[in-house]
């Protein structure tokens, strides 16, 4: 592992010494940039970010979600399938008719919901 790292460093140093000089470019600046961006990380990664967080809100939202969409979200999937454009009841009736054509026993399951 150490030999591959050392050989990679040697190759980089050889390339930078052979490469034509550019304004503001030197092997030392390249090495510094490589270490900073690959080992230490970019400065943007170390900015402090604060989030407003309320740990108790999950309990309240969980109860609301379960009342509206079911414990595992089974009614959420149905509601997303019916759309959100004001034709909810119309699509629901079409869905019931379609499901009855496929499986007549489905009518019993709908009444239990």
The domain of 13 spans 2-46
The conformation of residue 29, written as its DSSP 8-state character, comes to H
Does residue 18 form part of some domain?
yes
Does residue 41 form part of some domain?
yes
Does residue 31 form part of some domain?
yes
Residue 98 CB burial class (10 angstroms; 0-12, 13-18, ≥19): exposed
Assess whether 66 and 87 both reside in one domain. yes
Residue 48 falls in which region: left (phi positive, over 0), alpha (psi -120 to 50) or beta: beta
3-class SS of residue 47: coil
Assess whether 40 and 61 both reside in one domain. no
Assess whether 13 and 41 both reside in one domain. yes
pLDDT at 66: 93
Q: Compute the half-sphere exposure of residue 88: CA atoms within 13 Å on the CB side of its CA.
A: 6
Residue 14 binned pLDDT confidence (cut-offs 50, 70, 90): confident
Give the separation between CA 10 and CA 5, rounded to whole angstroms: 9
H helices of 39-87, in order, are: 57-69, 74-82
Q: What is the pLDDT of residues 31-49, one digit of tens each?
A: 887 777 777 777 777 888 8
Assess whether 64 and 101 both reside in one domain. yes
Does residue 32 form part of some domain?
yes
Does residue 51 form part of some domain?
no
Give the separation between CA 82 and CA 76, rounded to whole angstroms: 10
| The total number of structural domains that make up the chain | 2
Neighbours of 28 (CB within 10 A): 9
């Amino acid at each position: 592992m150490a030999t591959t790292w050392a050989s990679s460093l040697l190759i980089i140093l050889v390339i930078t010494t052979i490469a034509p000089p550019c304004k503001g470019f030197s092997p030392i600046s390249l090495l510094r940039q490589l270490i900073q961006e690959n080992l230490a990380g970019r400065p943007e990664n170390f900015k402090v970010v604060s989030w407003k967080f309320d740990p108790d809100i999950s309990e309240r939202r969980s109860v609301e979600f379960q009342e509206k969409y079911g414990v595992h979200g089974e009614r959420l999937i149905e509601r997303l399938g019916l759309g959100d454009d004001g034709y909810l009841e119309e699509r629901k009736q079409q869905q019931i008719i379609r499901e009855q054509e496929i499986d007549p026993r489905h009518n019993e399951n709908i009444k239990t919901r």
